[in-house]
Amino acid sequence: MLRRFRAPVRGRAAAALLAAVVVALLATGLLALVSSVPARSTTPPSTVPPPAASTTPVPSAARPAASSVVGLSAVFDDGSRAVGSGIVLTSTGEVLTCDHLVDQARWVTAWSYATGRSYPATLVGVDRTADAAVIQLHDSPAHPTASGLTPVRRGDPADLLAGDAVTAVSSRGNGAPTVTPGAVTALGRGITLTDSAGGTHRLEGLIEFRAALRHGDSGGALVNEGGEVVGMVVAASRDPDDPLVAAVPLDRATATAGGRAGAEVTSPGGRR
């Protein structure tokens, strides 16, 4: 059975959020790789405590991507909180992440290990057919953009072949970058998603790879052997003996950027 990387949340938002992450990959189920914890308040966090230094060496091919992945924390109306990852698209703070991570969130905050800073975020656009969302980070709530961020090096997902070595890079909320080696197992896979309203839609053309990912890795980067980001992690298997992961090709996911591909505009508080 497979899952997207967000764990169940508590409270009234839980049912909607859990329903949004029920998926199936062909004959095998997928669930989200998003970790959730109860929050004490719905007040947006002004700062995020620095994480402990990572003791895991980052492979040379993944180092550029590790500087361009941020951790995300989403707070919901009932006070529950989910954490995941995001991919920096621009130096001014456009970040790609999974729609299932930020869907219905009241507040979203990002943490960059590279800059040592936290950033409030608002939604720019979504494409639920790719489980993709683009959020805008801000240096402060009153500032329209962020500064000092390093965009990812983008690769061409079409160049991937089954058997290619890949690396998943994530941040898991406010953690140090985590890298997980893997290998491409199949291309062009499909997932059926059930959203919070009970509707279903398909994600097609996904990259399947084998890697032992964990909760909080949703929205992380899939990196090729050249250190280029070619996809965004959306789901993975429950089976520890066969840990399959699904990623949306980066070129498809980033079609959401700038409010394209079915954008939904947020209020100043970051809520849709």
Query: In this structure, what token pair is assigned to residue 262?
Result: 């079915």
| Number of CB atoms found within 10 A of residue 144's CB | 11
Written as six digits, the tokens of 183 are 């290998």
Strand-pair category, 165-170 with 132-137: unpaired
Which tokens sit at 172? 């898991």
Which residue's entry shows tokens 């947020």? 266
- What does the alpha-carbon distance between residue 189 and residue 192 come to, in Å, rounded to a whole number? 11
Active-site choice (99, 103, 127, 131)? 131
Structure-token pair, residue 256:
């959401």
Catalytic residue among 35, 85, 218, 237: 218
Check 80, 100, 112, 138 and give the catalytic one: 100
DSSP per residue, 51-87: PPPP-SPPPGGGHHHHTTEEEEEEE-TTSEEEEEEEE
Residues 187/208, Cβ–Cβ less than 8 Å: yes
Please count the residues of the chain: 272
132 and 201 in contact (C-beta within 8 Å)? no
Respond yes or no: is residue 218 known to be catalytic: yes
Q: Is 239 exposed, middle or buried (0-12, 13-18, 19+ CB in 10 A)?
A: exposed
100 catalytic per annotation: yes
Q: CA torsion, points 192, 238, 9, 76, in degrees to nearest 10?
A: -50
Cα–Cα dist 243/254, whole Å? 26
Token pair of 259 as six digits:
């409010």
Q: Which residues are identified as catalytic?
A: 100, 131, 218
